Structure 1
Amino acid sequence: MAGKLGIGIITYNRKDILLETIQNIFRFTKVPFDFVVADDGSSDGTQKTLKEMRITCVTGDNRGIAWNRNRAIWYLKNERKCDNIIIFEDDCKPVEFGWEQQWIDALESFGHINYMPEITIEIDNDISSGSGTAVDPYIAPMHQALCVGYHAKALDYVGFLDVRFKKYGEEHVEHTHRFLRAGYGGLPQYLTPERGQVYYLRGGLSVMPSESHGDHEIASYNQRVHEEIKKDPIYRSPWRTDEQMFLFREEINSSLNRPSTNNDFEDKEFDSIISLGGDHRSSLFVESFFHKTGPDLFGQFVTPFHTLISLFETNFEHLLSTVCLYGYYDALRCRETLLIYHKNINNIAEPAERVGNFVSNIDDTRKNYHSLIEKMDSACDGSKKVLFVRDWRDSYLYAGSHRPEGSNTADFQRLIKAISARYPNLDFKVLFVNFGSSAKADPRMLFYNTDVPDICEVEREQEAWNQMFRNLNISCRIQD
């Protein structure tokens, strides 16, 4: 019995053609399937339209075909656990009911299969043998990517498209060569995989006229890249660096059905909005939207979630501890508390000098922090309504994103209890930003995931926070 089917489309600025392809996939596909669209940062309203249609879309900035095809493959293979994966380009569509059965049979037999349109047969006509069916596929040397099939077991050995390729050109060819080297999808020549013969299917699909996004200069660059990497190890991840991994993971996570807005609470107008930090920019985002809203205590340092709880539980006892201070990027970290101080070092380069400067100014810094704590206590005197805001990120300059699936779950309830113990008469809520699939277990909790990766321009992230506050309809009464 064949495994689970997944179908994806990769697209860029072809909304009208894309919609026709989507319609035909749902119209002509007989076998149940999982579905996703990978959009490479279109600017023609594609994402808005897909959202209105409730179609799952993995998207991000425009990064080229290799990156975008990896989005679709990863989603279907790793998130939806599909065995047989078929990826369409947006200008290729099914036109016969039950078209997918030949593809499923071919993937179960060969692990990798490509589509050969009738126009290619007419123009090139370099098929060496075969009839274009799953039992007897065409065998030909050329490489096309209008519709490509991958079996999950073959992907386990071959991996993803190489993201060293830019924009358009060679990325699918090189990927197919690796399938041949691994023994899938054709007749390999192991010393010269570029001369291998590839398996193709015909029929059941049609190609639509479309405007090319190709660029000769980029294509030439990609040819050089292909030549340089053609003997690299077969398996490739969909990223090359840690930063790319974080970015890719965030794009995938943003496509999943995580909670976004909880609009089921009534108290949307607050007397004060107080940042509890997370990322070092969290307080700035809050202040930018609401203006001067509360004491900026947590904008002075970065604190891990468990340390945040401890500060409230111990009356901020260990704040400004000088036990084992050391340089951390362009800040200082305390090994005892894991607090990271980034506003108290006066741009001093040498870690030892930073520590010395921090310690020599500790009295003035302590007075400043004590004043900010008093201001927070005054804002939370029990006669007001307060919204605390906590972002997931709690490492200085962390190149990460929303809380990854499988990471330790923050103790939200313990934080609620700690705040409540310090301010027993306070009417408050805590907005937790970008904590993934977490859901509220207390009416004082509110969760929201922004829809942009954290590795992006500050202005773009600020707008995502602004949109969050607008979506939640949060306002602040007092602006002094």
Structure 2
Amino acid sequence: MKPKISVIIPTYNREKLITETIESVFNQTYKDIEIIVIDDGSTDNTVNIVKKLQEQSKLPFRVELLLENLGVSAARNLGVFLAKGDYVSFLDSDDYWFSDKLKKQIEFLDSNQEFIGVGSGVAYTNYNNREIVNFRKQTKLNKENEKYELLYQCYIVTSCFLIRKEALILAGLFDVRLSKTEDRDLWWRLPRFGRLGYIDEPLVRYLVHNESISKIQSKNTAKTYIPALDRTLWYYRDSLSKKQIDNIWANAYMMIAYDSANAGDNISTIKNIIKSFRYGNVNIPSLRFMIASIYKSIF
């Protein structure tokens, strides 16, 4: 019998974290699943650790090795092509699921056929002591304004979602040309094929550490985010008002400025703050943070 859910875990040089990630799948209360690990050309001991876990697994467990590092999008897409389940859930190799994550999400999708996927809240966790430092809700979409809300403020962690595989394929999977924005780009496209739901509780632990993909790629935000957003706004041009589009662009440039401030790039921070102002929507808390970051780096 084929599994109902395919869990896809892309990984690259995660020898210190991959065991905890995979064991969180072993510990799921919902068991009709398969595990697919795509190693993206690791040069450390990740592959050996994964193969030992494969030997211990009571679940169907497949390991595929890429000979070179092609990026997380290519690894995830390969996982989808290999997946036997009707549902797909991605799990980054530095994240961790709480034990009832898949059970609650499959129950939601089985009961709500108009939804193509469902996400959850996130528990942000300190790398050193594994203490939860913050809870964050993901973007909860209202049917009337879901496209605007998703484009204006897309706080979605990929490991939070369970998606119908058919919808992923229709949406075109992850764009391998993108780096920083590959996940948002996909979530922006998915509402063309159905609704995205939300379970209002943390079902995923997001580990905060210096090697996370989001930190490494912070300097690449503008190069990938702006073209992806521009393309998506063209798709949804008849569904959004001019004011909504202006708000989306203002927030996008403020987000890029925020990333630039985190990366210590003061010139890019200032340029993108100015671009955000041109659209007439100012995020005061973010602006205060960036001004403080610039001041601190100078003085």
| TM-score (normalizing by structure 1) | 0.38
For residue 181 of structure 1, report the CA deviation from its aligned partner.
2.1
Q: Does 1:24 align with 2:24?
A: yes
The letter of the residue matching 1:89 is: D
* Cα separation, partners in 2 of 1:217 and 1:73, compared to 1, 3 Å: same
User: Deviations 1:17-55 (Å, cap 9, x if unpaired)?
Assistant: 111111121123332211111222221121233234445
RMSD: 3.3
- Which residue of the other structure, out of 75, 85, 88, is the alignment partner of 1:85? 88
Q: Tell me, what secondary structure is at the counterpart of 1:154?
A: helix
State the percentage of identical aligned residues.
Answer: 21
Write the distance in 1 (CA, Å) between the matches of 2:138 and 2:121. 11
Write the distance in 2 (CA, Å) between the matches of 1:126 and 1:207. 12
* Cα separation, partners in 2 of 1:216 and 1:126, compared to 1, 3 Å: closer
- Structure 2 counterpart of 1:398: none
Higher Rg of the two aligned structures: 1
Write the distance in 1 (CA, Å) between the matches of 2:161 and 2:120. 6
CA contact (8 A) 1:72 1:87 kept: no
| 1:332-371 correspondence runs (5 A) | none
* Cα separation, partners in 2 of 1:128 and 1:206, compared to 1, 3 Å: closer
* Cα separation, partners in 2 of 1:175 and 1:207, compared to 1, 3 Å: same
* Cα separation, partners in 2 of 1:200 and 1:41, compared to 1, 3 Å: farther
Bigger helix fraction: 2
Q: Tell me, what secondary structure is at the counterpart of 2:202?
A: coil
- Structure 2 counterpart of 1:225: 227
Q: Which has the higher contact order (CA 8 A, sep 6+)?
A: 2
Write the distance in 1 (CA, Å) between the matches of 2:20 and 2:135. 26
CA contact (8 A) 1:92 1:206 kept: yes
For residue 87 of structure 1, report the CA deviation from its aligned partner.
1.1
* Cα separation, partners in 2 of 1:39 and 1:85, compared to 1, 3 Å: same
For residue 176 of structure 1, report the CA deviation from its aligned partner.
0.6
- Structure 2 counterpart of 1:191: none
Write the distance in 1 (CA, Å) between the matches of 2:140 and 2:4. 32
Write the distance in 1 (CA, Å) between the matches of 2:64 and 2:227. 26
Q: Does 1:58 align with 2:76?
A: no
Write the distance in 1 (CA, Å) between the matches of 2:192 and 2:17. 35
Q: Tell me, what secondary structure is at the counterpart of 1:16?
A: coil
Q: Tell me, what secondary structure is at the counterpart of 1:7?
A: strand
Write the distance in 2 (CA, Å) between the matches of 1:148 and 1:231. 23
Q: Does 1:184 align with 2:186?
A: no
- Structure 1 counterpart of 2:7: 7
Write the distance in 2 (CA, Å) between the matches of 1:67 and 1:114. 22
For residue 129 of structure 1, report the CA deviation from its aligned partner.
8.2
For residue 228 of structure 1, report the CA deviation from its aligned partner.
4.7
Structure 2: state its 5+ residue gaps. Answer: 55-60, 126-132, 143-149, 237-299
The letter of the residue matching 1:182 is: F
- Structure 1 counterpart of 2:170: 157
- Which residue of the other structure, out of 101, 104, 110, is the alignment partner of 1:102? 104
- Structure 2 counterpart of 1:147: 160
CA contact (8 A) 1:13 1:46 kept: yes
* Cα separation, partners in 2 of 1:29 and 1:17, compared to 1, 3 Å: farther
* Cα separation, partners in 2 of 1:12 and 1:180, compared to 1, 3 Å: same
* Cα separation, partners in 2 of 1:122 and 1:64, compared to 1, 3 Å: same
Write the distance in 2 (CA, Å) between the matches of 1:233 and 1:128. 21
| TM-score (normalizing by structure 2) | 0.59
Structure 1: state its 5+ residue gaps. Answer: 131-138, 187-198, 235-480
| 1:372-391 correspondence runs (5 A) | none
Q: Tell me, what secondary structure is at the counterpart of 2:26?
A: helix
| 1:246-325 correspondence runs (5 A) | none
Q: Does 1:115 align with 2:120?
A: yes
Q: Tell me, what secondary structure is at the counterpart of 1:208?
A: strand
Paired residue total: 206
User: Deviations 1:53-82 (Å, cap 9, x if unpaired)?
Assistant: 445222312122221221222221xxx2x1
Write the distance in 2 (CA, Å) between the matches of 1:224 and 1:20. 35
User: Deviations 1:427-466 (Å, cap 9, x if unpaired)?
Assistant: xxxxxxxxxxxxxxxxxxxxxxxxxxxxxxxxxxxxxxxx
User: Deviations 1:320-340 (Å, cap 9, x if unpaired)?
Assistant: xxxxxxxxxxxxxxxxxxxxx
For residue 141 of structure 1, report the CA deviation from its aligned partner.
4.3
The letter of the residue matching 1:180 is: P
CA contact (8 A) 1:50 1:56 kept: no
- Structure 2 counterpart of 1:207: 206
CA contact (8 A) 2:167 2:190 kept: yes
- Structure 2 counterpart of 1:33: 33
Write the distance in 2 (CA, Å) between the matches of 1:215 and 1:50. 25
Q: Tell me, what secondary structure is at the counterpart of 1:25?
A: helix
Write the distance in 2 (CA, Å) between the matches of 1:127 and 1:115. 9
* Cα separation, partners in 2 of 1:94 and 1:127, compared to 1, 3 Å: closer
Write the distance in 2 (CA, Å) between the matches of 1:23 and 1:40. 20
* Cα separation, partners in 2 of 1:201 and 1:123, compared to 1, 3 Å: closer
Write the distance in 2 (CA, Å) between the matches of 1:222 and 1:165. 6
- Structure 1 counterpart of 2:80: 73
Write the distance in 2 (CA, Å) between the matches of 1:99 and 1:217. 32
CA contact (8 A) 2:80 2:165 kept: no
- Structure 2 counterpart of 1:194: none
